[in-house]
Amino acid sequence: MTSTIERNLPHPHFTDAEAGAKEFPDAHARTFNYFVPAKRRPTHYEDVTVEVQPDPRHYLSQGWLYGFSDGRGGYPLEWTALKAWGSDRPVPERYPGSGGRGYDWPALGWHEFRDPNEEWELTLYRYNSNVVRQINANIDTARESKAFEQWNRNWVHFVERHVGAWMHVEQGLGLYLFANANRRAPTNMHNNAISVNSMHRIRFAQDLALYNLSLTDEIEAFDGTAHIATWNSDPAWQGVRMVAEQLTGIDDWCEAIFAANVVFEPLIGELFRSHLVQQAAPGNGDFVTPTVVGAGEYDYASRDLRYTRAMFELLVRDREFSDHNKTLLNQWTATWTGRCLAAARTLQPLWSQPDWKPPRFEDGLDLCKNRFSALLADLELTTPKELKQ
Amino acid sequence: MSRQSVAKAHEKIQELAWAPLYHEPVSQYGTDYTFSKANKKDPLKQVLRSYFPMQEEKDNRVYGASDGAIRGNMFRQVEERWLEWQKLFLSIIPLPEISAARAMPLLFRTVPNAELHNGQAIQMIDEVRHSTIQQNLKRLYMQNYIDPAGFNSSLRNFQNDYCGTIGRQFAEGFITGDAITAASIYLTIVAETAFTNTLFVAMPAEAAANGDYLLPTVFHSVQSDESRHISNGYATLLMALADEGNHQLLERDLRYAWWNNHRVVDAAIGTFIEYGTKDRRKERESYAEMWRRWIYDDYYRSYLVPLEKYGLVIPHDLIEEAWNQIWNKGYVHEVAQFFCTGWLANYWRMDGMTDKDFEWFEYKYPGWYDKYGAWWENYNRLSMPNGHNPIVFEDVNYQYPQRCWTCMVPCLVREDMVMAEVDGHWRTYCHEACRWTDVEAFRPTFQGRETPNMGQLIGKREWETLYHGWNWADVISDMGFVRDDGKTMTAQPHLDLDPKKMWTLDHLRRCPPLQSPNVLLNEMSDDERQAFHAAYVRGGPAGRYAPASA
C-alpha cells in the first residue's frame, strides 16, 4: 500500500500583483526614467547597461565612499588625457544642508557613448558560442576529410610557428591592455564594451592554441611548441612583440584602446591575418586555418573596431573639447604609426616562406595603409607623415 | 569540446602566457602584500571553447524561465511584500557585480602569476554577465509587476538613497585601496566565499516561497559562477600566506572585511528574508538559522578554520560577535525596524507585520514581541495618512539613531555605540570594530608598519547631513522619490495602492525639518556630548530611549 508522507511546503496564493490590475500614480510608468535614451525609445542594451556605474556628477549624492591611498575614488576622469564636454566642471560640492542634486543627466559627454554592438551578457555569450561551435565544426570536418594531409611541409612549419606566434599577441593585449582597461573608463558603456573586446582577444588566443593542439595530434611533423620559440626569439617577430609590450605599458586608457584598435590592428593585425595568412593558406592546400583566423578577424573588423569608432567619433566631435582631443589623438597616431610600421616591416620575411606565395608584402601593406588612412579620415584625424616610411 | 579533454586543453592554453622582454606592462595599483614564494595553479581550469557554450546554455534556461513566468502569469501569485523589498536589492546588486569585473585588473600586476590571470579574466566577464542579467530581471519586474515605482527609478534611487549608499560599500570596497585587500580579501575571500551563500542561495529560496521563481532562476545561475570565483580567491590567499610578512595584513583585512560584510549584508539580506516574506511556516529556517548553516558552519568552520594551520589568523572573536549580534542583540530586527521608521526616505513600499508574523517571530526569536511588538503595532496604526505624521515624527518611544561612520548602518544596537574625534570632527560608530576600521585599519601606518597602499574612507558618509534643516517634502523631491502625478510618494508604509490612502508631499510639508544627528552631535559641548553618549548606550532595544533613571 502506498503511504503518503506529509510534506511541509509554502503555499503561494492568488495576489493579483500583475501589471494593470489597478490604477494609481506610476501604474503605467514602465520604463527606466533616470537616463535619456540615445534614440526615441530605450534599447534593451541601454536598460541593462546605462548608469549601473554611478557618477557623483549626477545622482551619487554622498560621493565615492572608498578611495585609493591618495584619496581618489571611483573612476577619475584624469585616467585619460582626452576630455568629453563637461569634464572641467567640478563635482558638485556637498556639505551640511547642500542637498544631493547633481547636474542634469548626462552631466558629461562621456555618458553619451553607446556601444553600437549593444553587447550585454545575452549577446556576448550567443556570439562567442556560435564562433567556437563553428570553429570546432570546421576543424572536425577537416579532420574527418583528411584535409591536413594536403598541407605541404613548408606550410605546416609556417602554421606551427607564425600562426602560432599570433596567439601571444592576442593573449597579451586581451589581458594586459583590454581587460586592464575595463577598470579605467568613466562609464559602464565604455567598460562593458572594453570587457567584451578583451574576451574576443582571449578567446581568439585560445582558439589558436587549441587549433595548434589539434594540429599536433593530426599532423605528425607538426611541432606544437614551435610557436613559443618563434615568439621568444625569431627576429621576424621581435618588432611585433616589442610594440605589443609597449602597448601594454600605456597608462592612459583611451590611448591604449586607440593605439591598439585604430593603429596596431590595421597596420599589423590585418596585415598579418588578412594579407598573409588568409591569402597564402588556400594556395598551400589549407582551407581550415582561414576559418579560425577569420573568426578573429571578424571580431576586430566588424565588432571591436565598430565600438572603437563610435567611442572616438564622439570625442573628436565633442562640442567642447574637439580640438583638444584631435590634437592628442594626432600625437598618438604619429607615435604609434611609427612604431607599428617599423614592427610591420620586421614581419616581411614571412611572406617568402610558404611554397605558394601570397600577394607581395608591399601590396598588402599599401592596402593596410589605405584602410588606416580612411579610418583616420573618418575620425577627422590627420594622416601622419610617419605613414610614408 | 572536440575530442580534447578540458585538462589537456587547459594545459595547452598555459603556453599562451609570456613574460615581457622589452617593456613592462603598466602598473597602476599598489599593494603592501608581497608574493615572493609560492606559485599556485589556476584552479578554474576553464577554457573559453567550453565556457561560452556552457554559459549560453545557462542563459537559455534563465530566459526560458523568464518567458514562462510571463506566459504563466507568475505575477498573479507574487507577494507584494516580497517584491517591494526587491526594489532595494535589485537597485544595489548590479553595481557590486560590475565592480567585481572592474576589480580583476587590480590583481594582474600585484599577483605575479599568469596562470591565475586566466581565471581572473573569466571572472571579469562572468561579472558582466551577472550585472546585466540582474538589470534584466529588474526590467522584467518593472514591466510586469503591479507597481513599477521604485523599479523605474532604480539606479537614481540607489545612488542617492542612504540604503543604497550602505550597499555601495559592497562594490567600492572591491575596486579601490590596496589591491589585495580590495580585490582578493574583501571581494573573493569574504564577500563571495561567505556572503553570496545568503545572497544567492538563501534569499532565492525565500523568493520561491513568495511566488517568485524568477529570482531563484537568475540567482542560482549566478551562484554557479560564484563557486569558480571562490577558487580564484583561495589560490591567491594561499600564495599570500606563503610570505610571512603578509600575515599581519591578512589579519587586518580579514577583520575589516568580515565585519563590514556582516554589517552590510546581514542588515539587508536579513531584513529581506525575515521581514519581506509571507511564508510563516514554523519549519522554515529563520535568517539566524540560515546564517548558522551557510556562514558559521560552511564558511567559518569548513573554509576558514582549516587555514589556521597555514598561519592565517582568523578573527574568531568577530565571528562570534557577529553571531551574538544576530542572535542575542537582534541586529536584523533593529535594522528592519529602522528601515520602516525611515520609510519616507526610501523608494519601496514596506508592509507592516501582522499577528501571524508576530507569532512566527516569537517562535523563532523568543522574546521578540516584548521588544518589537508594540512598535510594529504603532507602525500599522500610523500607516495610512489620517491627520498624523509618519511614524518617525510620532511618539512611539523610538530615538532616531546616530549613523556609523564606517559601515553607514545606523548605530542600532545602542549599547555598542562608540565615538571618536577624527580630524577635529566627532564621528559615531555602531561597534568598536567599525571604529577600529576607520581609526586604525584604513590608515597609512598599521601597528607601526608602513601601509602606504591602504585605501581611505571618503565621501559624505552621513546622509542626513546633506539635508540638515530641510523640509521633508523638499528632501523627497530633491531625491526624486515621487510618482508621476508629481506628489504621491514612491515609498509607502503599507501595500494599499488606493491613491486616497497613499502619502503625498503635502503630508510631508507639515512635518518638522530633517535634523542630522551628526551635525547636532558636533554642535554639543564636550560635556553635553558625553552625557548624550552615556544616555544613548543605555537605550534600546527596539530604539527605546534610555530609562529616565540610570
The dihedral built from the CA positions of residue B29, B35, B36 and B42, taken in this order, carries a sign that is: negative
Min Cα–Cα distance to chain B from A285, Å:
23
pLDDT tens by residue, B413-454: 999 999 999 999 999 999 999 999 999 999 999 999 999 999
Out of B124, B456, B484, the one facing A179 most closely (by C-beta) is: B124
Band (A348; pLDDT cuts 50, 70, 90): very high
Q: Which residues of A touch B103 (CB under 8 A)?
A: 183
Cα(B173)–Cα(A66) distance, integer angstroms: 6
DSSP string, A52-89: SS--TTTT-TT--SEE-TTS-BS--GGGSS---TTTTS
CB–CB of A8/B283 below 8 Å?
yes
- Mean pLDDT of all residues in chain A? 96
Phi, psi of B465 (to 5 degrees): -60, -40
What was the pLDDT predicted at A30? Answer: 98
B347 and chain A: CB distance < 8 Å anywhere? no
Out of A24, A224, A248, the one facing B497 most closely (by C-beta) is: A24
pLDDT tens by residue, A149-200: 999 999 999 999 999 999 999 999 999 999 999 999 999 999 999 999 999 9
- If you search the block for the grid coordinates 616581411, which residue do you land on? A348
pLDDT at B4 over 70: no
- If you search the block for the grid coordinates 557590486, which residue do you land on? B96
Q: Which of residues 237-256 of A touch B (CB under 8 A)?
A: 241-242, 245-246, 248-251
Cα(B189)–Cα(A300) distance, integer angstroms: 36
What was the pLDDT predicted at B549? Answer: 64
Query: What's the mean pLDDT in B470-491?
Result: 98
Buried b (16+ CB within 10 A) or exposed e, B100-111: bbbbbbbbbbbb
pLDDT at B38 over 80: no
Distances (CA, A) of B267 to A209, B14, B199, B339, B458: 47, 43, 12, 10, 22
Cα(B199)–Cα(B257) distance, integer angstroms: 16
What was the pLDDT predicted at B548? Answer: 85
Give the three-class secondary structure for B405: coil
Band (A279; pLDDT cuts 50, 70, 90): very high
Q: Which of B28, B42, B129, B135 to mutate to test the interface with A (most CBs of A within 10 A)?
A: B135
Angle at A112 between CA A111 and CA A114, to 5 degrees: 100
Question: What H or E segment, with its residue span, contains residue A197?
Answer: helix A188-218
Min Cα–Cα distance to chain B from A48, Å:
5
Cα(B529)–Cα(B531) distance, integer angstroms: 5
Q: What cell does A124 get?
A: 556576448
Phi, psi of A176 (to 5 degrees): -90, -10
Helix, strand, coil distribution of chain B in percent, nearest 5: 60, 5, 35
A21 and chain B: CB distance < 8 Å anywhere? yes
Instruction: Give the number of residues written for chain A.
Output: 389
Q: In this structure, how many other beta carbons lie within 10 angstroms of the beta carbon of residue A170?
A: 25
CB–CB of A372/A263 below 8 Å?
yes
Query: What's the mean pLDDT in A322-333?
Result: 98
pLDDT at B550 over 60: no
DSSP string, B415-481: GG-EEEEETTEEEEESSHHHHHIIIIISSSEETTEE-TT--EE-S---HHHHTTT--HHHHHHHHT-
Cis peptide before B452 (omega within 30 of 0): no
A228 and chain B: CB distance < 8 Å anywhere? yes
CB–CB of B497/B148 below 8 Å?
no
B547 and chain A: CB distance < 8 Å anywhere? no
Q: Which of residues 97-116 of A touch B (CB under 8 A)?
A: 97-101
Closest residue of chain B to A127, computed from CA coordinates: B52
CB–CB of A245/B20 below 8 Å?
yes
CB–CB of B128/A197 below 8 Å?
no
Closest residue of chain A to B148, computed from CA coordinates: A30
Query: What's the mean pLDDT in A340-369?
Result: 98
Domains of chain A by start residue, with CATH: 121-388 (1.10.620.20)
A vs B: CB pairs below 8 A:
393
Cα(B314)–Cα(B486) distance, integer angstroms: 53
HEC sequence for B48-96: HHHHHHHHHHHHHHHHHHHHHHHHCCHHHCCCHHHHHHHHHHHHHCHHH
